[in-house]
Structure 1
Amino acid sequence: MVYLNEDVLFQILEDLNDKKSIYSCLLVNKTWCITAVPILWRNPGQYFMTNNSKKILFNVIFSHLSKESRNLLKKQVIDDLITETNQRPLFNYISFWKYLNFFLIENIITLISQKSIMSTITIRNEILKLFINGNTKFLHLSIPRNFNYQLHYILGVEHCFSEIESLSIYCKISQNILELLARTCKSIKRLRIINNQNVTIDNISGIIKLIEVQEKLNDVSFIDLTRMNKSLHKSLEESLIKHADTIQYLRMDWLPYTRILSYLVNLLSFEIDLPYNKNFGELSKFRSFQIIKNIKGHGVPPDVLANLIESTKIHLSEISIYCVVFNVSGDKRLIQTIYQNCPNLRYLKLSLVFYDNSLISELDNLLINCKFLNELIIDVTDSQLFGWDKLFVMLAKSSSINLFDFKFFSNKIIELDHIKLFLDNWKDRNPMLLKICTSMSLKEKQQLEDLIEPYKAKGIIKNYFIGFDGNISEKLEWI
């Protein structure tokens, strides 16, 4: 394997998606090292960085600067941070960057240039000239809030941005930047628009123009745009309708004002995150989905979500729901709608206000009818009114052979006896993946680990994670 063809080796490492393993490849031989380095340096911003690691990264960037630029920086602003031992690196690491994250760059510059505003400007100018040139082409671009760099004056910027595939920007940025992006970036597939303050028609008109010129737009997210007025929301929807044939993933946080969902005939995933106490009348009337596979609803009443799910029929494979509506009948209808219309369901997250343990019987029906379900997440808002023991008995009894990945979120500690009941009834089944995230003390966490460890030793549990309420993400990578 040490002597694999370089192209084959690159494909293997690229698909490996394990940075620790790829890092170890640097030590195999020269060929492996040359193959691994570009993959590791494709997106330096993806790694967690301390201030010390940011300074180290800056030194790497600094080592790529021309002799004139290095002397300028050392003389004017950072002579105490850079030593004469800095030499040109063996690799041109900058050329491997495909993710240009201006937030990271600005963060590093701010950390380094603590002397004055003038030093910040000097460092920024030299670094921008290093990254933006006539040779490098970035695939991913992230622009932070209040971004006002004069990028359009930098020679080679249009070449650098000509193949951008994913873009993340805030609404209120320079019109010159928006015009540059609309003129240069035509192949964006994934677009993320974030609002950071009051947005004007001029801001939105620039974004609309950017949307309209795209040729491959596939994944669009509007985040925190709720406070915009109706006309701006409607204009954004109309710009997306022009890409009805290509858009497959849509996230928005306002009630649609147009029949946009009827036009997006190839939509696979729809996520809506709404403020509470909204009028959901129009949304509840939609019967437009054809082959959608993923629905995520946050703050949407269960009856409205049930109507949306009914319109998708057998195609849904992923459902993620967060409701704060005190409506037992609505919750029941929602669960019934899922198991009556989604036989191919594979992923389900239910974050509901459980007021009635009769909901457990509906969950039982869901497990019986949704045989392909393999990941179940239960988030209980008021666990004092919820029968965990009944839920665990039902899960052990009715889970199909495909269901083995469980995640439980609770605002109260789940009793150890109830968890033990679940694990005792799971023997002779496929080993489960178990995640429990709840409010607990360190002592209670240790007690829970002491309970679970013997079941892992017996093979009843393949892997587990115990966390405090809200401190871990929904997805967990299992080893």
Structure 2
Amino acid sequence: MSKLNKDVLFLIFEELKFDKKSLYSCLYVNRTWCETVVPILWRNPGQYLTTINSCTSVPILWKIPSQYLILFNVIFLHLSKESKDILKKQGINNLITEIYQRPLFNYINFWKYLDLFLIENIISSSKIEESKKFNIRDEILKLFFSSNVKFIHLSIPQDYDFQLHHIPGAERCFSELESLSFCCDFGNCQNILNGLARICKSIRKFRVDNVHFCTNNSGINKLIEVQKKLNNVSFIGPYKGSRAIINIIEDESIYKSLEESLIKHVDTIQYLRMDWIPITRILSYLVNLFRLEISTCLPYPTNWNELDYLKDLSLPNLKILITRQVPIKITANLIEITKGQLTEISVLYNDADSKNLFKAICQNCSNLKYLNLSLSNNTNLLISEFENLLISCQLLNKLIIDVVDFDIMFNWDKLLLILAKSSPTSLFTFEFHSGRINLEDIKLFFDNWINRNPMLLEIDSDNYCNEFGEKKQLEDLIEKYKVNGIIKKCSVHSNTRSRWLFL
């Protein structure tokens, strides 16, 4: 295998692109393997580092991981003599030595993903005084833009005002950009996007974070309008519970203009996320949608009732529907118009009236394979409807149940008995998220899961937040049922994540 030609090796290593450990081991086989793996590893170095949220209001972490310092040192070795002389004149001497060894590879030429928040953290890892960071940033960006690289992804963090499009080489570097992620703020950062609109015409995936903070979206609109193959668009609001949510700018004209900018791309857009209530009839144009995600970060207003056109909507290609904080009536309407095409549904909403939702799924989702539901205590009155749902969806293979507000009165015993009794043969993968799930109810579920495929189960509950007490009892119980062939795999967590976060 070590003698396979480079083309074959490249195809093999491409399948391992997210497996850092395996790719690293391939570096040591021989020179050919090393030369083939290195460009894959350095295509997107940030994916192997500690994940950081680029939309934080504090752009630089107080503690920088050591990997950032290593990456900074590698980048610094690629700087030209001219750049180093400039930095010397600025008094940055501690990072520069007269004699240094060039890297074996020109790693900069392999970069395809330019994450500017990552660059900021890399610069901070050098512990250079704040007043001189601008000079370092300038020379690093000049290095990237003077290389032969053509980026396919660009990520711009919040409060970033460095005018990228004015850097020599920007037009070449961004000419083949396929993906752009941008984080809005209250300032006017639209100049960067207006500049990119003159360069980038091939963006397929476009994401705007903190869209509710946008006071001027001219650059966003322009960038969207000039694209030729726009396929995936996400307008994402702040996370629920964020302190910044109180500063949201509810300017309907902003959302309306964003929707109107999509009209030119009705033939190509297949994936859409909107974190506001549609202002226009945009959904009636996007007939090629494959995935639709609608979320609202604030309590829904009454004008949902004005969306009567949804009853006449046609989304013949829609397979995935996700709604958050959207009234059940609207979600049920969207399900009904798909006429059996949906394969995935996720509904996160605390609505006492779930009957219409269950009915819509029963009557219109015979091809459903994935279902994520949030339930409240009132859902206990709809156990029979839930059983009908299981009977109607015979292709269902994964079910996630979220009990909202961590309602300790939720009757898990009834729900779990229905699952054991009426789940289709294809369904044996479950996730349960709740403030409290009694051990007795779980044991009863296991006891009734007889002569079925061994289940894959994840339990996320406050009952099991430590290594002792009920968690230890549950883990012992799981081991027992693994031996009996009832369980194939089961993981237990404390309920540390909120299923209401807008992820």
TM-score (norm 2): 0.87
Given that residues 113 and 123 in structure 1 are in contact (C-alpha distance below 8 angstroms), is that contact kept between their aligned partners in structure 2?
Answer: no
Aligned twin of 1:252: 274
The CA distance in 2 between the partners of 1:68 and 1:103, in whole Å, is 25
Instruction: Give the counterpart letter for 1:373 in structure 2.
Output: L
Q: Structure 2: any 5+ residue segments left out of the alignment?
A: 51-63, 239-247
* Paired residues for 1:13-412 under 5 Å: 13-16=13-16, 17-49=18-50, 51-70=65-84, 72-73=86-87, 76=90, 79-80=93-94, 86-117=100-131, 119-133=132-146, 135-171=148-184, 172-195=187-210, 198-200=213-215, 203-224=216-237, 227-274=249-296, 275-279=298-302, 280-283=304-307, 285-286=309-310, 287-288=312-313, 289-325=315-351, 327=352, 330-381=353-404, 382-412=406-436
* Paired residues for 1:459-478 under 5 Å: 459-471=485-497
Instruction: Give the counterpart letter for 2:361 in structure 1.
Output: I
SS in 2 for 1:315: coil
Query: For 1:419-471, what per-residue CA distance to the aligned partner results, in whole angstroms no more than 9, with x for missing partners?
Result: 12222322432222111111133023333222212333444323222212134
The CA distance in 2 between the partners of 1:137 and 1:273, in whole Å, is 34
Of structures 1 and 2, the one scoring higher in RCO (CA 8 A, sep 6+) is 2
Given that residues 320 and 349 in structure 1 are in contact (C-alpha distance below 8 angstroms), is that contact kept between their aligned partners in structure 2?
Answer: yes
Moved more, 27-36 or 362-371: 27-36
Given that residues 349 and 378 in structure 1 are in contact (C-alpha distance below 8 angstroms), is that contact kept between their aligned partners in structure 2?
Answer: yes
Moved more, 90-99 or 15-24: 15-24
Query: For 1:44-93, what per-residue CA distance to the aligned partner results, in whole angstroms no more than 9, with x for missing partners?
Result: 11233352111111011111112343455467565545677852111211
The CA distance in 1 between the partners of 2:428 and 2:96, in whole Å, is 54
Indicate which of 404, 407, 417 corresponds to 2:440. 417
Query: For 1:364-400, what per-residue CA distance to the aligned partner results, in whole angstroms no more than 9, with x for missing partners?
Result: 1111110111110000124433221222222122122
The CA distance in 1 between the partners of 2:355 and 2:88, in whole Å, is 67
Task: Quote how far apart the aligned CAs of 1:331 are.
Answer: 0.3
Change (3 A) 1:420 1:89: same
The CA distance in 1 between the partners of 2:455 and 2:27, in whole Å, is 35
Given that residues 377 and 409 in structure 2 are in contact (C-alpha distance below 8 angstroms), is that contact kept between their aligned partners in structure 1?
Answer: yes
The CA distance in 2 between the partners of 1:181 and 1:471, in whole Å, is 37
Moved more, 139-148 or 65-74: 65-74
Change (3 A) 1:457 1:31: farther
Identity %: 57
Given that residues 151 and 177 in structure 2 are in contact (C-alpha distance below 8 angstroms), is that contact kept between their aligned partners in structure 1?
Answer: yes
The CA distance in 2 between the partners of 1:312 and 1:234, in whole Å, is 25
The CA distance in 2 between the partners of 1:242 and 1:335, in whole Å, is 36
Q: Structure 1: any 5+ residue segments left out of the alignment?
A: 475-479
Task: Quote how far apart the aligned CAs of 1:111 are.
Answer: 3.3
The CA distance in 1 between the partners of 2:410 and 2:189, in whole Å, is 51
Given that residues 134 and 155 in structure 1 are in contact (C-alpha distance below 8 angstroms), is that contact kept between their aligned partners in structure 2?
Answer: no
Task: Quote how far apart the aligned CAs of 1:312 are.
Answer: 0.9
Moved more, 78-87 or 156-165: 78-87
Instruction: Give the counterpart letter for 2:25 in structure 1.
Output: S
TM-score (norm 1): 0.91
RMSD: 2.3
Query: For 1:168-190, what per-residue CA distance to the aligned partner results, in whole angstroms no more than 9, with x for missing partners?
Result: 11345534312221011101111
Aligned twin of 1:477: none
Query: For 1:231-287, what per-residue CA distance to the aligned partner results, in whole angstroms no more than 9, with x for missing partners?
Result: 221111111011000001111122112111110010111111112141211335403
Q: When the two structures are aligned, how many residues end up with a matched partner?
A: 467
The CA distance in 2 between the partners of 1:238 and 1:175, in whole Å, is 18
Given that residues 455 and 461 in structure 1 are in contact (C-alpha distance below 8 angstroms), is that contact kept between their aligned partners in structure 2?
Answer: yes
Given that residues 113 and 120 in structure 1 are in contact (C-alpha distance below 8 angstroms), is that contact kept between their aligned partners in structure 2?
Answer: no
Given that residues 432 and 460 in structure 1 are in contact (C-alpha distance below 8 angstroms), is that contact kept between their aligned partners in structure 2?
Answer: yes
SS in 1 for 2:254: helix
Query: For 1:90-119, what per-residue CA distance to the aligned partner results, in whole angstroms no more than 9, with x for missing partners?
Result: 1211111111000110122133244231x1
The CA distance in 2 between the partners of 1:58 and 1:258, in whole Å, is 47
Change (3 A) 1:48 1:29: same
Instruction: Give the counterpart letter for 2:158 in structure 1.
Output: R
Task: Quote how far apart the aligned CAs of 1:196 are.
Answer: 6.5
Q: Does 1:451 align with 2:477?
A: yes
